[in-house]
Structure 1
Amino acid sequence: MLLQTHIPLYPEKNQISYDKRILMLGSCFVENIGEKLKYFKFSVQVNPFGILFHPKAILNLLERAEQKRSYTENDIFFLNERWHSYEAHSDLSGLSKQEVLEGLNKALQLTLSSLSCADFIVITSGTAWAYQLKNAERVVANCHKVPQNEFDKVLWPVEQLEDCYKKILKLIKRINPNVRIVFTVSPVRHLKDGFVENQQSKAHLMTATHLTISAAEQSFYFPAYEIMMDELRDYRFYTDDMVHPNAMAVSYIWEKFKKVWVDPKSYQLMDEIDKIQKGLNHKPFNPDSGQHRSFRRKLQHRIDRIKEQYPEMVF
């Protein structure tokens, strides 16, 4: 008796391994999977500008990085005793104008360098609903609690999203012709937009994504949204807000992602790193005991053995 349907997934030919570099941009899904890759000590950069929900916000960031247009005072604004940028998440907001500009420009340099040397780029879109500043008609990455009457909320049609995705692909390939690009749609439900409106949005994103990758080389789709909706179709897989996948769901989707995109030759090292991570997180009853000191020495020896082969890893 089958009590669950499974989306057919097959390993890709060229997969992620420890000698590959990864850049992840977009919505909460890349944060979740990025944390898993970081845990296992892969070389990964995740959202230098924080979470970006709309494809146009990702394109805006990439265009600025390619053009090396530094942020200036004209690109930030002051609200609620903090400085913000409409192109970045509130993680990059701050009390000092200088501090915010330094953070934005540092993130810009990191984005360009990661873009240039990445072997894989993962791009996740969260919504097709765009918030456009009325006085500038530009899509913002984050509203930063600016009053809603300052924006027009617009559902981007498939054609406009497809054009945006194609521009993203073209830009990336100009900088890094050999990179492999994995597109996903975030499984996070944007219910504040409305139940029907959220489904509309996800459908637009998926249609535009498939139209884009069907005509492109080295571009792929990973069905994160579909796994959440079809394989994990139960509210016990959500956090208390009934919007975000919980830890169990993230781990389940990670295992599916690993099957498709992580080289099995890396599994043995991943298992060893997992044991080290659990050892480092272990809280002893008596940190000064001889038993614990011996445990720490053995743990350090295991770390040193890995660092002989991968000196860039930091534990």
Structure 2
Amino acid sequence: MKFHYEFDIKKAPHPIRHPQQLMLVGSCFTENIGEKLRRHKFNVLENPNGILFNPVSVTEAIETYINNTIIAETDLFLHNETWHSWKHHSRFSGITAQEAVDKINASTSAAHQWLKHTDHLLLTLGSAWLYTLTGEAPNAVEGSTAANNHKAPAAWFRKRLMRAEEVVSLFNNLLEKLRAFNPELQLIFTISPVRHLREGVIENNRSKAVLIQAVHELVAQHGNTYYFPAYELVIDDLRDYRFYAEDLVHPNYQATQYVWEKFTEACMNTDTKDLMKEIAEINLAFQHKPFNPLTSQHLHFLKSYLTKTKALQDQHPYLDLKNELHYFETHTR
């Protein structure tokens, strides 16, 4: 008997490889994939504005990286004794305005330099619902989109659902700018399987439908784009609440791992996957906590992995294995 529906996934035309640079922008699901990429020693810059859900905030953020847009204290607002930016996640907020400005500008500057040499930009869209600012919101352009509500009063926002053609227009404009800034850039679009149930079940499905329609139109129009079906893998392949966390909103570890395995199959070639297996083996040894660390058996174990790690570093000098090498070296002296 079949208990879930597996479907074929089109291979990415330009596979991801370890020497390349990756940038990930979008919803919290982006951070799940980003963590797995980092663990396997890919060169990743993730969410320089923090978590972003809607297409307006995603495109605005990337345009600031292209232009290296620097903000000032006058671009922030004070709420609950903390300074915030309407365009950034709360992790960029600060007790002083200068603290927040410094964090934001440092992140934007790093993203500007990184994006120049990025090979793959992974964009994960979470919701087509926009929260735009009203005249009651402090230090904001009325009608502009808030990337994060910072637990502000509801009266500061208006809510509306984007249309698919709006999303297409936004990204058509962004893709033109990206082509001029980094002509070799490849884009991977995904739709987040995280369910935005605070909007309501029907509203969440309307939102996802807008995003899916728009992204498929974009991929059909642009040769440097690819769609990876993270949303469909959770909703239509796994299709069971046992693959969600207790909140019934976020995919759990098993679901995220399943999507990750499908992602590696679709977006990486055999050589990359073989290298990932070697890195995973070294990771396990690095994280191993022995009951008796002073035994000769454990010392032999560490020496063998020191040799393996050195060999892998020599063979692939672009891998960052400094922490692992330091650990094996210091524990075999």
With normalisation by structure 1, the TM-score equals: 0.96
CA drift of 1:177 comes to: 1.1
Aligned partner of 2:219 among 213, 223, 226: 213
Post-superposition Cα deviations, 1:28-87, rounded to whole Å, max 9, x if no partner, equal 221111111111101111112211101110111122222222011012222222221111
Aligned partner of 1:281 among 279, 287, 301: 287
Given the alignment of the two structures, is residue 25 of structure 1 paired with residue 25 of structure 2, yes or no? Answer: yes
The 1:59–1:13 alpha-carbon spacing in structure 2 relative to 1, beyond 3 Å, is closer
Distance in structure 2 (CA, Å) of the matches to 1:42 and 1:265: 14
CA drift of 1:5 comes to: 1.6
Post-superposition Cα deviations, 1:148-198, rounded to whole Å, max 9, x if no partner, equal 110101111112111112122122112111111011110000000000000
Q: What secondary structure sits across from 2:158 in the alignment?
A: strand
CA drift of 1:294 comes to: 3.0
Aligned partner of 1:191 among 191, 194, 197: 197
Structure 2 residue aligned with 1:63: 63
Aligned partner of 1:225 among 228, 231, 234: 231
Structure 2 residue aligned with 1:295: 301
Structure 1 residue aligned with 2:119: 119
Distance in structure 1 (CA, Å) of the matches to 2:92 and 2:270: 36
CA RMSD of superposed structures (Å): 1.5
- Conserved? CA contact 2:122–2:188, under 8 Å: yes
Amino acid corresponding to residue 36 of structure 2 in structure 1: K
CA drift of 1:291 comes to: 3.1
Q: For structure 1, which segment, 181-190 or 96-105, has the greater mean C-alpha deviation from structure 2 after superposition?
A: 96-105
Distance in structure 1 (CA, Å) of the matches to 2:77 and 2:311: 49
Which residues of 2 match residues 84-233 of structure 1 at below 5 A? Answer: 84-135=84-135, 136-233=142-239
Distance in structure 2 (CA, Å) of the matches to 1:2 and 1:143: 43
Amino acid corresponding to residue 4 of structure 1 in structure 2: H
Q: For structure 1, which segment, 118-127 or 290-299, has the greater mean C-alpha deviation from structure 2 after superposition?
A: 290-299
Identity, in percent, stands at: 37
Given the alignment of the two structures, is residue 74 of structure 1 paired with residue 74 of structure 2, yes or no? Answer: yes
Structure 2 residue aligned with 1:313: 320
- Conserved? CA contact 1:115–1:172, under 8 Å: no
CA drift of 1:12 comes to: 2.6
With normalisation by structure 2, the TM-score equals: 0.91
Distance in structure 1 (CA, Å) of the matches to 2:11 and 2:220: 19
- Conserved? CA contact 1:10–1:259, under 8 Å: no
Post-superposition Cα deviations, 1:111-155, rounded to whole Å, max 9, x if no partner, equal 112211111111011000011111321001101011111010111
Q: For structure 1, which segment, 234-243 or 24-33, has the greater mean C-alpha deviation from structure 2 after superposition?
A: 24-33
Q: What secondary structure sits across from 1:269 in the alignment?
A: helix
Post-superposition Cα deviations, 1:183-229, rounded to whole Å, max 9, x if no partner, equal 11100000000000000000001111111221111111111111111
Amino acid corresponding to residue 110 of structure 1 in structure 2: A
The 1:192–1:74 alpha-carbon spacing in structure 2 relative to 1, beyond 3 Å, is same
The 1:311–1:123 alpha-carbon spacing in structure 2 relative to 1, beyond 3 Å, is closer
Q: What secondary structure sits across from 1:140 in the alignment?
A: coil
Q: What secondary structure sits across from 1:191 in the alignment?
A: coil
5+ residue gaps in structure 1? none
Amino acid corresponding to residue 284 of structure 2 in structure 1: K
The 1:69–1:10 alpha-carbon spacing in structure 2 relative to 1, beyond 3 Å, is closer
